[in-house]
Amino acid sequence: MAGYDPRVTPARPDLAAKYLEGKVDAARFVEGTLFEVIAPQSPVRRAPAHDASLETEALMGERVTVYEDNGEGWCWGQLGSDGYVGWLPSAALGAPGAAPTDRVAVLRTLAFPGASIKLPPVAALSLGCTLAVTRREGDFAVTGVGLYLPARHLAPLAAMEKDFVAVAERFVGVPYLWGGKTSLGLDCSGLVQVALTASGIGCPRDSDMQKNGLGSAVTPASDYSNLQRGDLLFWPGHVAIARDARTIIHANGFHMATAIEPIAEAVKRIAASGAKLEAVKRL
């Protein structure tokens, strides 16, 4: 398995997942233990330190296979959703609970300790968080761990958004955050992944993975005059979503936010920085 991608392969020189035995070189191989993200969101970092690079985020309800707990507050594991590998705070993980039944279907919602909006909220959950709802109490959905959420902010796990571009448009104005994927901050590929996932379309995490794994190429990439809503535009290290034949939406470092702008202006500005549009993919 020479040349494997360490972002999605749980392998290090000292430790690797058991299922990789015979495929990669490592000092030892372990089966791993299944956990669940119990925090509203958890950072997934490159190293076991709070100031290490943020690689991505895991959302409440996501399953994580942990291969190492370093005993100092960090676990090294692989996300069940997109296979990303990294270090998560041990406090963000717990034993797997009941299978999720619902997901947060709005940009952000609040969880309360009881059936009253006058109570101090105990958590803020982002679009895409999944929950095991056990009952309804008035206007609230109640989870097995006692969180009360506005029922109208949730949707059954199987209910998918019809237009992933419309999902992305909800994030307009959200700050740019490298590695982020919530309404507190997200990056270009995080925006694409969150929007597609909400629409039931599997999506890898990073823009290069998305370019290689999603859709069919629209050629030539330099001709973007016939774009359709939902086309994905790729530059080196960047991705944007076509809203129509004239505008795109993308989380970007120029605006430091998710923004809508004319395609022609974005192509010109990014080219001036040294990066040319290299691919357009149609789902």
| Whether residue 126 has pLDDT greater than 80 | yes
Mean pLDDT in residue range 160-187: 98
Report whether 185 contacts 194 (CB < 8 A). Answer: no
pLDDT at 221: 77
Q: What is the tens place of the pLDDT at every residue in 62-113? A: 999 999 999 999 999 999 999 999 999 999 999 999 999 999 999 999 999 9
| Whether residue 273 has pLDDT greater than 90 | yes
Q: What is the DSSP letter of 156?
A: E
Q: What is the mean pLDDT of the chain?
A: 96
98-128 exposure pattern, b = at least 16 Cβ within 10 A, e = fewer: eebbbbbbeebbbbbeeeeeeeeeebbbbbb
Mean pLDDT in residue range 156-172: 97
| Whether residue 1 has pLDDT greater than 80 | no
Token code pair at residue 139: 């206007």
Residue 138: band (very low, low, confident or very high) from pLDDT cuts 50, 70, 90:
very high
pLDDT over 70, % of the chain? 99
232-258 exposure pattern, b = at least 16 Cβ within 10 A, e = fewer: bbbbeebbbbbbeeebbbbbbeeeebb
| Whether residue 2 has pLDDT greater than 70 | no
- Compute the distance between CA of residue 9 and CA of residue 85 in angstroms, rounded to an integer: 7
| Whether residue 267 has pLDDT greater than 80 | yes
Q: What is the tens place of the pLDDT at every residue in 197-252? A: 999 999 999 999 999 999 999 988 778 888 999 999 999 999 999 999 999 999 99
